Structure 1
Amino acid sequence: MKETIKQVIAHEAQAILNIPVEDGMLEAIELIHRQVHLKKGKLVTSGMGKAGQIALNIATTFSSTGTPAVFLHPSESQHGDLGVVQENDVLLVISNSGKTREIIELIDLAENLYAGLPLIVISSNPKGVLAQNADAFIYTGNPKEVCPLGLSPTTSTTVMTVIGDALVVSMMNKIGFTNDDYAKRHHGGYLGSKSRLQAKNDTKNNH
């Protein structure tokens, strides 16, 4: 059993190391910065199933680090939630297959609402419908799932999470996000206390 656990960890670690660092990531960062920080829109993320859970995590992490973001469930978008989308927003969708029906429908609906909304796609399929319509395409490297059936989203969602973290950290650096900025957005709990303490220390060190 321990050997199986070690193999899973090694498999996923290698998949992370194999993530292609291509221009799509840089283009995505620039799009988010332009739409959110210059045009005062927001980042709208979406995905179905496990990919949707990763999209939700990306949105909340962006929001807590100075880049306003919301998660839009693709199915609920067809029942009124699409109204959260505004003209200066940027969409970030995640689909491992690159052809998830609900995501394709969401893109069409958003285009009908505000033509020309920038689209960022994270996917393992560079030839999929979503990739072909993306303004910025981020390739996962198409890692094999560590699931013994090769079906359950495991390695793919790990890679998606890491890509999201890379985008968040890059944006934090780009906008010069500080401990004080973090403390204002995260008041409660251990992280709130830690960020306020670090902000005080930053202030002392700057005087």
Structure 2
Amino acid sequence: MRKLLKYLLVAEDHPICTAAIDMAAHAYESAIVVTGVQTLDAAKDQLEARRFDGMVLDLGLKDSQGFINLSIVHSIAPRMPILVVSATEQPDAAAKARSLGARGFLPKSAPMDEMTSAIAAVLNGEEWFEDGLDNDAELESDQIKLLSGAQLRVMREVVKGQPNKIIAADLGLAEQTVKTHVSAALKTLGVTNRSQAILRLKEMGVTE
């Protein structure tokens, strides 16, 4: 007997895609209650406020930083199954998503029946990935997985080019705390300065 899922969080900022995901989810299980958000910050608020049985996450949200978004979401709700949907054509995208905690990866061009199957598989504890994923891409993403949730949030702002003082004010942290998180993240990423860190993160699929 399959598990009856009741609450699904959908982080997607394109109305047509949101509607398609909603239809696909209800085609799988009519009792699912779908909550839609358009930004990563709104998704974080929802995840911190209540428990969801699963999530569909678009990597290209309005306040997106690419794969670092997946790491942030996974750090908040590590046991929640996540299906990543993306318009990216990068051949290693699915492998990176899996290495960062996603249970599945689906291109936005996928037909409705495939989307329904992907949601069903992921929310039933299975995976939804194509065969022959790039193992090198998975190893590359291991460094991001070693960053803490706080470090991820700080480095997300670093990629935007924000100075420590602004990051501290935006995240409600002491400036010294931001410096500590940046230093620790640089060490984990194997770089010596912020510019190198930004380049390294962008190589991993983290974008402005």
TM-score category (smaller protein): under 0.3
Larger Rg: 1
TM-score (norm 1): 0.27
TM-score (norm 2): 0.27
